[in-house]
Amino acid sequence: MQEVAHIASLILEATSFIVILLAAAFATALFLARCFRGGLVDSYRDYRANLGRGILIGLEILIAADIIKSVVIDPTLESMLVLGGIVVIRTFLSISLEVEINGHWPWNTTRLQREAEEDARRRDGAG
């Protein structure tokens, strides 16, 4: 069981690395293509958002690999504390990237959607 978990965590780590690398490559290619068509400011904003999304996905995969390693391979108190620290740091990074991408806190999404729907209903009713 530990050998399978070790292989799975290695595969997840490699997958995370590949996801981040591909996201950076695709975001950069898209950015350069959009820059040649004009609109540098919008292209830059989209570039950062696309790059951030790729990093977020990579971080989530890395967390899965760390959980497997800490819980299955080395279930000691020390490894659990290290896992807790890693999860806290990566959660902070994820929230920071989410705010950077969307321009608001993740928990405001529902409120913002509700307000947009109310505005749309008001416009439809007024028109």
What would the pLDDT profile of 11-49 be if each residue is shown by its tens digit? 999 999 999 999 999 999 999 988 888 777 778 888 888
Quote the number of domains for the chain: 1
pLDDT tens-digit series, residues 47-69: 888 898 898 899 889 888 888 88
Tokens of 58: 């990579």
pTM: 0.68
Question: Cα(97)–Cα(103) distance, rounded to whole angstroms?
Answer: 10
Question: Cα(93)–Cα(18) distance, rounded to whole angstroms?
Answer: 19
Q: Which domain holds residue 29?
A: 2-126
**DSSP label of 106:** G
pLDDT tens-digit series, residues 108-127: 777 767 777 888 888 887 65
